[in-house]
Amino acid sequence: MSSLKEVLRTKVEEHRPRMTNLLKNYGDRKIGEVTVSQAIGGMRGVKGLVTDISYLDPYEGIRFRGYTINEVMEKLPKPDGKGYPFVEGFMYLLLTGEIPTKEQALEVVEEFKKRSYVPSYVFDLLNTMPKETHPMTMFSTAILAMQNESVFANAYKMGLINKFNSWEYMYEDVLNLISRLPEVAAYIYRLKYKNGDIIKPDKNLDFGGNFAHMMGIGDPYDEVARMYFILHSDHESGNVSAHTTHLVASALSDAYLSLSAGINGLAGPLHGLANQEVLGWIQNFMKQLGGKVPTEEKLKDAVWDTLNSGQVIPGYGHAVLRKTDPRYTAQREYCLKYLPNDELFQLVSKLYAVVPDILREAGKAKNPFPNVDAQSGVIQWYYGLKEYDFYTVLFGIGRSLGVLANITWDRALGYPIERPKSVTTGMLEEMVSQSFGTTTLVSV
Ligand code: HAX
């Protein structure tokens, strides 16, 4: 066994008294208020979740365990001769808050390999699904099917779970599940787009390297995979995929049930599916222009046409961020270094030059800047992964790292079942009329 679990155990034991102290001595202290527009408007900005895995500042962007994207990429150990860190070492950081040594990262690499067996019934199930099924549906179905393997569910059935040890069973499921995801995802890809010509895993490779190998894409796609999974891993806990995973886990559902639900949320076009939407949208207006690279004027027309038809510009805007997403910037920097002359990259760059001003002029979006999804398809396309409805599955592998680290800690800290309170529209009307000392509401 790697030292990861023992380090995590120490961290959990150190952290528990902090939570107990807050609850016991400061439980009634207010940390915010909820307005009518927040109650109606998707709880935007309501502080009602606690996580230490990552924090999203509206102007700075994401920090993982306190480290910026650049710091993570720089500080974490890397495979020999490679520029991006081991995904396994990054998982060590998410779980423990500590940068692992190379030796510790390699221990987790071995741990993942030992756990990576995918039961054959998962492949049988995928084989029987209709060919046109969306790959995110296949991915979520495969994860759900593996619930049969849950160590947590089995221990629960046997009456072995209590408040103190439940995180250890969750941890087992989390590591097993993550280590299987690359093979499941690559299988879906090859089954759906490469006539079922499946490539077996190579036990000599790390998470990113093995994924690239099973996808059948040569170097440096292993580097792209490592970068991509790390960038997409976590975005604090209020986004749809993270919150859904946390919510489902709060009912003591195991990691398989919880992650499958979170992946379904990621599959929505306003969330993770936006990365495929960006490519679809670009291809669509390229087709309308007879395949020609559009001029800036034509691009502006296409953006306005989309807005005027009541649709959103995919890859732009964000519920929390108020600047260009640093995950966008990290991928843009990769493109500037390795594929500066790529036609699609240049087109996406041109969009970056025109969309923010148009969104500002349109006057609705609070954040006119690009998010992670505006750029992520470019790199995939360049390395030959042109089946863009698969892009959200890549996002899903990355996102699993963050949300599964979160639910391990949820169990360790004994977070209870989540159950916010709802009110009726009539109650809201009553509350606002009382607060203005009148029973007459403004008529509409
Ligand atoms: N294009 C057009 N209009 C947009 C917009 C965009 N990219 N972003 C926001 N708006 C509009 C909203 O639709 C909303 O309009 P209404 O008042 O008519 O409903 C208004 O601007 C205010 O929205 P907001 O407060 O700025 O944004 P929200 O917090 O409500 O929503 C979204 C955030 C990311 C969902 C939104 O910006 C959007 O739809 N963007 C396009 C889809 C996208 O790229 N999603 C991926 C986001 C990142 C992510 O989660 N990846 O997984």
- In the chain, what are the domain boundaries? 4-43+426-434, 54-270+399-412, 274-382
Bridge partners of 54, per DSSP, are 64
What burial letters (b/e) apply to 51-78, b meaning 16+ CB within 10 Å? bbbbbbeeeebbbbbebebeebbeebbb
Give yes or no for residue 319 CB within 6 A of ligand 1.
Answer: yes
Nearest to 78 by CA among 52, 101, 49: 101
Q: Best substitution site from 54, 364, 372, 397 to test ligand 1's pocket, by max atoms within 8 Å of Cβ?
A: 364
CA 136: distance to chain centroid?
13
pLDDT computed for residue 284 by the predictor = 84
Question: If you take atom 50 of ligand 1, which residue's CA is the nearest one?
Answer: 271
Low-confidence ranges of the chain (pLDDT < 70): 1, 436-444
- Name the phi and psi angles at 261, rounded to 5: -65, -45
Nearest CA to ligand 1 atom 23: 365
Whether 365 lines ligand 1, by a CB cut-off of 6 Å, is yes
386 lines ligand 1 (CB under 6 A): no
The values of phi and psi at residue 64, to 5°, are: -95, 120
- What's the pLDDT at 289? 77
User: In this structure, are residues 91 and 206 in contact, taking their beta carbons and an 8 Å threshold?
Assistant: no
> Can you read off the two tokens belonging to residue 376?
């992520």
CA–CA gap between residue 317 and residue 325 (Å, rounded): 9
Ligand 1 centroid vs 313 CA: distance in angstroms?
8
Question: Which residue's alpha carbon is nearest to atom 25 within ligand 1?
Answer: 366
- Beta carbon of 231 within 6 Å of any ligand 1 atom: no
The finding on whether 100 has its CB within 6 A of some atom of ligand 1 is no
Strand partners, 55: 63
Rounded Cα distance, 226 and 82, in Å: 10
To the question of domain 54-270+399-412 being in CATH 1.10.300.10, the answer is no
Q: How far is the CA of 312 from the centre of ligand 1 (A)?
A: 7
Cα separation, 176 vs 212, whole angstroms: 20
Comparing CA positions, the residue from 240, 250, 311 lying closest to residue 43 is 240
How many CB atoms sit inside 10 A of residue 362's CB? 14
Query: Ligand 1 centroid to 149 CA: how many Å?
Result: 38
* CATH number belonging to domain 274-382: 1.10.230.10
Question: Which atom from ligand 1 is nearest to the alpha carbon of 320?
Answer: 29
Which pTM was predicted?
0.95
Active site residues: 271, 318, 373
Distance of CA 24 from the midpoint of ligand 1 (Å): 39
Q: Residue 221: what residue type? A: Y
Phi, psi of 292 (to 5 degrees): -75, 150
Answer yes or no: is the C-beta of 271 below 6 A from any ligand 1 atom: yes
Which amino acid belongs to residue 192?
A: K
DSSP assignment letter at 62: E
Nearest CA to ligand 1 atom 39: 270
Closest Cα to residue 403, out of 54, 8, 10, 5? 54
Q: How many angstroms separate the CA atoms of 55 and 53, rounded? A: 7
